Amino acid sequence: MPHYNYLIIGGGMTAAAAVNGIREVDANGSIGLFSMEPDPPYDRPPLSKGLWKGTALETIWRQFEKHGVELHLGCRVQSINPHQKQVIDDNGTSHTFDKLLLATGGTPRRLPFGTEQIIYFRTVEDYRRLRALAENHQRVCVIGGGFIGSEVAAALAMNGKQVVMVIPEPTIGSRIFPNDLGLFLNDYFRQKGVELLMQEKVVKVEGRAESIVVKISSMETSREREIVVDGIVAGIGIQPNVELAQAAGLKVEHGIVVDEFLRTSYPDIYSAGDAAAFYNPSLGKRIRVEHEDNANSMGRLAGRNMAEEDELYHHLPSFYSDLFELGYEAVGELSTQHEIIADWKKPNQEGVIYYLENNRVRGVLLWNVWSQVDAARSLIAEVGPFDRQKLKGYLPRPPSK
């Protein structure tokens, strides 16, 4: 029976970062990595950003060959036996471990009508499919106005494609951006040539000869109409992959529950990345984060702790996005349910937005404002109460020496 000192389930950025973390501490322990994807680990953000602006596909691969990892690609782990410290793969082979990491990530949500014509954009294979589509066709429907929807729509439009976005909400990014910024984004996308069908949902997709007919329905009036496109991409959120953990009896609550050392409820089993729910002291609660910074920082720390370090994960992850010429960084909880204080240097072009709850700053959006993520993190860690007037002009801070 194959045995690994470190066995990792998942082949994303978290898994790759964990390998680095292990090797920072343990140069020789054996590492086995199981991934359902046929491709080795890679950076995901370029799939919806840089690769559409000239970055070469070769640059996305994570470099860890030197770490001597045994890769099991295109391979699904069927079950975990935490007592016998054993996993069984889809060939029925058992593998034993000293330490196990669940870096199982998430699976894109799907619409309730089964069609293979919709690209639920997440993996490099989805990128290849969309690239091939864009090379031969012109008109693409993008479903969803979140991170994937907005970035992929911008990427396609920048590559000369006709893009129609179908979004159930009234604005792009309506979960995180205040309404006026969302309305600005709607106009901005329209100016860039993107057709926006707001407060509409897709109710049917039908292949017809060379094209695809998308039936959409108004959220307000239920009036239905059809649009004809060459391809469809959807970004309607992900579900964390917690089933393996659940079946193994690990504690799961909206994510695989880990302590501050990233240990699950079973000894020697760790979890990190999109699937893991961890306690963040700045926010004073358990969160689950689906962004790159968390994948990299949490994966690395999980790897180090599996290799006998004893470090607390207290990092408050940041995230960022690029939309045509606009860009931002953000940290903490960006929720339009919070009280919002906007401090614009130039309206909708450059400024800082603070998200408050119970007189505390819970999140900060740095809109075209750079190198301020650490200062924003420190602000979120402060207990307050905050004087709203004093927040105006608080960021950007001069660089600390």
Q: Nearest distance from residue 371's CB to ligand NAP, in Å?
A: 18
Q: Which of 236, 307, 316, 331 binds ligand NAP (CB under 6 A)?
A: 236
By CB under 6 A, residue 297 contacts ligand NAP? no
Q: Nearest distance from residue 88's CB to ligand NAP, in Å?
A: 29
- Report the site for ligand NAP in 124-143 (rule: CB under 6 A): 143
Q: Which is nearer to ligand NAP, 201 or 215 (CB)?
A: 201
Q: Nearest distance from residue 274's CB to ligand NAP, in Å?
A: 7
Per the CB < 8 A criterion, the answer to whether 391 and 354 are in contact is yes
How far apart, in Å, are the Cα atoms of 278 and each of 256, 257, 283, 383? 8, 6, 11, 20
How far apart, in Å, are the Cα atoms of 68 and each of 19, 23, 32, 169, 299? 10, 10, 9, 47, 18
Q: Which is nearer to ligand NAP, 257 or 331 (CB)?
A: 331
- Tell me how far apart the alpha carbons of residues 167 and 153 are, in angstroms, rounded to a whole number: 12
Residue with tokens 């689950």: 288
- Report the site for ligand NAP in 182-221 (rule: CB under 6 A): 201
- The gap from C-alpha 321 to its chain's centroid, in whole angstroms, comes to 11
Q: Nearest distance from residue 73's CB to ligand NAP, in Å?
A: 22
By CB under 6 A, residue 355 contacts ligand NAP? no
* Residue among 333, 345, 314 at smallest CA distance from 376: 333
Helix (H, G, I), strand (E, B) or coil at 126: helix
Q: Which of 29, 50, 168, 327 binds ligand NAP (CB under 6 A)?
A: 168
Largest CA distance in the chain: 65
| Parallel/antiparallel/unpaired status of strands 94-102 and 3-9 | parallel
Neighbours of 66 (CB within 10 A): 7
Q: Which is nearer to ligand NAP, 147 or 188 (CB)?
A: 147
- Tell me how far apart the alpha carbons of residues 201 and 167 are, in angstroms, rounded to a whole number: 6
Q: Nearest distance from residue 290's CB to ligand NAP, in Å?
A: 3
Here the tokens at position 33 are: 């990595």
| Beta strands, E only, 209-359 | 211-218, 224-229, 231-234, 238-240, 256-257, 269-271, 276-280, 285-287, 318-323, 326-332, 339-346, 350-357
Q: Which of 237, 327, 384, 396 binds ligand NAP (CB under 6 A)?
A: 237
Q: Which is nearer to ligand NAP, 107 or 162 (CB)?
A: 107
Q: Nearest distance from residue 222's CB to ligand NAP, in Å?
A: 15
Q: Nearest distance from residue 184's CB to ligand NAP, in Å?
A: 17
Q: Nearest distance from residue 108's CB to ligand NAP, in Å?
A: 6
By CB under 6 A, residue 48 contacts ligand NAP? yes
Q: Which is nearer to ligand NAP, 180 or 309 (CB)?
A: 180
How far apart, in Å, are the Cα atoms of 105 and each of 7, 133, 196? 16, 26, 30
For ligand NAP, what does the binding mask look like between residues 143 and 162, x meaning CB under 6 A?
xxxxxxx-x-----------
Q: Which of 62, 131, 175, 204 binds ligand NAP (CB under 6 A)?
A: 175
- Report the site for ligand NAP in 277-296 (rule: CB under 6 A): 290-291
Helix (H, G, I), strand (E, B) or coil at 322: strand
- Report the site for ligand NAP in 238-277 (rule: CB under 6 A): 238
- Report the site for ligand NAP in 310-329 (rule: CB under 6 A): 319-321
Amino acid at 78: Q
Q: Which is nearer to ligand NAP, 186 or 305 (CB)?
A: 186
- Report the site for ligand NAP in 83-112 (rule: CB under 6 A): 111
Q: How far apart are the first and last CA of the chain?
A: 54
Q: Which is nearer to ligand NAP, 93 or 159 (CB)?
A: 159
Residue 73 CB burial class (10 angstroms; 0-12, 13-18, ≥19): middle
Q: Which is nearer to ligand NAP, 88 or 238 (CB)?
A: 238
Q: Which residues bind ligand NAP (CB under 6 A)?
A: 48, 111, 143-149, 151, 168, 175, 201, 235-238, 290-291, 319-321
